[in-house]
């Protein structure tokens, strides 16, 4: 059962003197939900950026299945079936929701140069886009220009676009940030559904959400991996309680 | 996202009718001028593909216009070949090949660097033609016999006839417009528009940005080549000014003035700027001053160009019905 889908080995990334990600060795099992926790500035987004090819590592390696993907550009990593959503909403604000998802789906078309047939006439691509919209809960917003929607809805679209590329491994960078309570619940339900047939790597500050969906936890502080394990193991860890969870729970 | 709006359709039909009918009523001076305007219209639309739809601000677009014009000269003067069925595709191919090389070297840069590097390449080509005696140096090259459409020795369409050249140019302009409108609806066209809006997200979704940009650059280069072919044929003359940064800047002003990202705006820009230049340059030596003032006024008071103002005016007229969003597959 415990097949490793993604693995990092001594992965590091520095910005000048700052070690944003520092010697992280981590394995992600296929089919599970892995949550990455840590205080602000811990290096969680940088880790996702490394895994998705957004930025190259300073040292270390990343393996996806049996392939070394270290240093591959983001578009190639996406094509391998690793999808990501962004912490800072990263959509096409002047396009409709459907077009946002359709463009995402179109990236899966074989052969990138198609010049004459209308983009809207590719049935499979349209179906993928509709499915993405449906899943992220924006089917009723299909023809709305993205920038005319609420911030929370734009966050949903962010997820819908990722899903329209049909990835098998999802990198989600704080999908719930900026969503209202109701939207959050919907997205948590979506994450649970996705967890059935995807591998998820989830960054999230909302602890209720994390404990509701995560199978494994990894805690980062100052770029370093502090602790990994099952939810129970990590919650019991003294180091983690001191560094992160403890203070967080007191805050409630 | 490109869509032909109702107001743009009206402008296009008016433009089409105007250009289509003019030779039946107009005088020969303006037939020549309108031929030039239509050629520049193709040239400006090709740049709009880059600036308005791909987000590539090229300040060296005249390079492709110019090499195509020199290709025409090479065939006519050096090879003594007049068959346009040969010259036209060759001129397009040379322009496209130049765009492939220059584009391949340029698109890795972004922003101001892209502007500078495209300008630098065009200046290099400009200097090349200016220095080479073979290419006529600063004076350029004149020729007498114009290309013609012929099969074997049978002339189908003699382009030294003003009306013939006019209608060939008109057909090319219409074809270029339709080609671009179809292209922009295609998966490729949607993808380059995505690149313009949010390049990073396109890459994250799996698109090879460099391929998309390069393809767009080459297509634009070929279209600029079509315009260069017409202009060389029309004037029977080529000099290094065809590739000068004045020419690149001029066509950019047409695109911005007409309204970026609308295609028909580029046609209006070419029309407005050329007619204006033609009229005031005959009245006053310092006409560039007026021209500069005009450009500043348009940019200040019509930030979206002529086409942008047409769109917002027509929206105001139809206020009763809300602005239509793009719908349906
Ligand atoms: N492109 C960059 N250039 C310079 N420094 C960066 C860059 N990206 C991130 N950093 C720095 O690296 C550190 C880790 O940032 P990162 O965004 O990965 O944290 P995070 O764990 O995602 O935090 P948050 O919870 O606030 O999203 C921070 O100190 C940040 O300022
Ligand atoms: Mg972050």
Stretch A121-140: mean pLDDT, rounded?
96
According to DSSP, the residues that pair with B154 across neighbouring strands are: B151
Which of A107, A146, A160 is best to mutate for the B interface (most B CBs within 10 A)?
A107
Among B66, B101, B98, B77, residue whose Cα is nearest residue B229:
B66
Separation of A75 CA from ligand 2 center, angstroms?
21
Which parts of chain B fold into alpha helices (H)?
6-25, 28-48, 62-73, 84-106, 112-131, 162-185, 187-197, 199-204, 209-235, 245-258, 264-283, 287-301, 305-317
**What angle separates helix A181-195 from helix A123-136, to the nearest 10 degrees?**
120
User: What separation in Å is there between the alpha carbon of A44 and the centre of ligand 2?
Assistant: 5
For a substitution probing ligand 1, which of A16, A35, A38, A43 has the most ligand atoms within 8 Å of its CB? A43
**Nearest-angstrom CA–CA distance, B208 and A167:** 17
* A91 contacts B187? CB cut-off 8 A: no
What pLDDT does residue B156 have?
81
**Rounded Cα distance, B39 and B122, in Å:** 20
Q: What is the number of the ligand closest to the CA of A21?
A: 1
Q: Inform me whether the C-beta atom of residue B329 falls under 8 Å from chain A C-beta atoms.
A: yes
What pLDDT score was predicted for residue A244? 64
Alpha-carbon separation of residue A226 from A44, A234, A237, A241, B248 (angstroms):
12, 10, 10, 11, 58
Provide the pLDDT for residue B260: 94
The closest alpha carbon to A147, from A87, A97, A101, A104, belongs to A97
* Residue B190 and residue B1 in contact, taking contact as beta carbons nearer than 8 Å: yes
Distance, CA of B76 to chain centre: 23
Does the beta-carbon distance from B326 to A143 stay under 8 Å? Answer: yes
Mean pLDDT of A200-228: 92
Q: How confident is the model at residue A1 (pLDDT cuts 50, 70, 90)?
A: low
Least confident of A62-71, A228-237, B71-80, B103-112: A228-237
Contact B208 A116 (CB under 8 A): no
pLDDT in tens, A148-196: 999 999 999 999 999 999 999 999 999 999 888 988 999 999 999 999 9
**ipTM summary value:** 0.93
Q: Give the pLDDT mean for A127-144.
A: 96
Report which bound ligand comes closest to the CA of A219.
Answer: 1
CA distance B146 to B165: 10
Task: Go through the domains of chain B in sequence order and give each one's CATH number.
Answer: 6-317 (1.10.3470)
pLDDT beneath 50: ranges in chain B: 323, 326-329
pLDDT tens, residue by residue, B120-177: 999 999 999 999 999 999 999 999 888 988 887 888 888 888 999 999 999 999 999 9
pLDDT band, residue A232 (cuts 50/70/90): confident
What residues in chain A have their Cβ under 8 A from chain B's Cβ atoms? 52, 54, 73-76, 78-79, 84, 86, 90-96, 99, 102-104, 106-109, 112-122, 125-126, 143-145, 161, 165
Report CB contact under 8 Å: A103, B202.
yes
Residue nearest to atom 28 of ligand 1 (CA): A41
CA of A40 to the centre of ligand 2 (A): 7
d(CA A57, CA B292): 50
Please state the φ and ψ torsions of residue B77, each to the nearest 5 degrees: -90, -50
- Provide the pLDDT for residue A249: 46
What pLDDT does B69 receive?
A: 97
Residue pair B147/B75 in contact (Cβ under 8 Å)? The answer is yes
Q: Which sign, positive or negative, has the C-alpha torsion A140, A146, A148, A149? A: positive
Distance from CA of A205 to the nearest CA of B (A): 23
Q: Give me B179's structure tokens.
A: 């080609």
Pick the CATH number of A27-55+71-81+169-252 from 3.30.200.20, 2.40.50.140, 3.40.50.880, 3.40.50.300: 3.40.50.300
Site of tokens 């305007």: B37
| Nearest CA, atom 26, ligand 1 | A40
- What are the boundaries of each domain within chain A? 27-55+71-81+169-252, 91-167
The answer on pLDDT for A130 being more than 90 is yes
- Tokens 């948590």 identify what position? A188
How many Å apart are CA B220 and CA A41, to the nearest integer? 44
Residue B212 token pair = 């998309």
How much is the average pLDDT of A26-52?
96
């Amino acid at each position: 059962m415990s097949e490793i889908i993604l693995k990092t080995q001594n992965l590091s990334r520095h910005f000048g003197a700052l070690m944003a990600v520092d010697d992280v060795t981590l394995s992600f099992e296929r089919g599970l939900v892995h949550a990455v926790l840590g205080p602000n500035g811990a290096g969680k987004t940088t880790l996702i950026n490394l895994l998705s090819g957004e930025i190259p590592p300073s040292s270390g390696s990343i393996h996806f299945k049996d392939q070394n993907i270290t240093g591959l550009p983001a578009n190639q990593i996406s094509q391998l079936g690793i999808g990501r959503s962004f912490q800072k909403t990263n959509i096409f604000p002047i396009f409709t929701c459907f077009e946002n998802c359709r463009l995402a789906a179109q990236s899966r078309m074989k052969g990138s140069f198609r010049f004459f047939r209308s983009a809207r006439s590719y049935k499979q691509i349209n179906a993928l886009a509709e499915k993405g919209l449906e899943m992220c809960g924006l089917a009723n917003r299909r023809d709305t220009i993205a920038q005319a929607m609420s911030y929370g809805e734009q966050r949903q679209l962010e997820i819908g676009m990722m899903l329209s590329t049909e990835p098998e491994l999802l990198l989600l960078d704080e999908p719930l940030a900026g969503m209202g309570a109701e939207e959050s619940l919907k997205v948590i339900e979506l994450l649970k559904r996705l967890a059935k047939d995807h591998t998820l790597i989830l960054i999230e500050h909302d602890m209720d959400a994390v404990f509701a969906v995560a199978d494994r936890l990894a805690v980062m502080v100052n770029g370093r991996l502090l602790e990994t394990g099952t939810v129970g193991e990590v919650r019991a860890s003294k180091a983690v309680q001191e560094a992160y969870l403890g203070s967080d729970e007191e805050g409630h | 996202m490109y869509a032909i709006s109702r107001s743009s359709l009206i402008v296009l039909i008016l433009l089409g009718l105007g250009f289509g009918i003019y030779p039946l009523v107009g005088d020969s001076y303006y037939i020549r001028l309108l031929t030039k305007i239509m050629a520049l219209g193709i040239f400006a639309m090709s740049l709009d593909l880059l600036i308005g739809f791909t987000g590539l601000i090229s300040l060296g677009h005249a390079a492709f216009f110019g090499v195509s014009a020199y290709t025409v000269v090479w065939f006519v003067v050096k090879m003594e070949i007049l068959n346009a069925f040969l010259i036209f595709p060759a001129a397009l191919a040379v322009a496209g090949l130049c765009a492939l090389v220059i584009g391949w070297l340029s698109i890795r840069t972004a922003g101001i660097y892209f502007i500078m590097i495209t300008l630098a390449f065009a200046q290099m080509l400009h200097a090349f033609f200016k220095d080479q005696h073979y290419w006529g140096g600063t004076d350029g090259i004149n020729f007498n016999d114009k290309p013609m459409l012929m099969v074997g020795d049978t002339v189908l369409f003699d382009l030294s006839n003003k009306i013939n050249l006019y209608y060939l140019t008109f057909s090319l302009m219409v074809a270029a417009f339709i080609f671009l409108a179809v292209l922009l609806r295609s998966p490729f066209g949607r993808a380059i528009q995505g690149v313009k809006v949010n390049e990073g997200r396109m890459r994250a979704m799996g698109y090879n940005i460099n391929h998309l940009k390069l393809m767009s650059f080459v297509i634009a280069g070929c279209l600029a080549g079509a315009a260069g072919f017409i202009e060389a044929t029309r004037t029977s003359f080529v000099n290094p000014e065809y590739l000068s940064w004045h020419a690149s800047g001029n066509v950019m002003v047409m695109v911005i003035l007409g309204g970026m990202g609308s295609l028909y705006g580029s046609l209006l820009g070419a029309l407005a700027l050329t007619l204006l230049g033609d009229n005031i340059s005959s009245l006053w030596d310092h006409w560039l001053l007026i021209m500069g003032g005009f450009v500043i006024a348009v940019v200040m008071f019509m930030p979206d160009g002529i086409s942008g103002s047409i769109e917002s005016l027509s929206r105001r007229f139809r206020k009763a019905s809300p602005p239509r969003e793009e719908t349906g597959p």
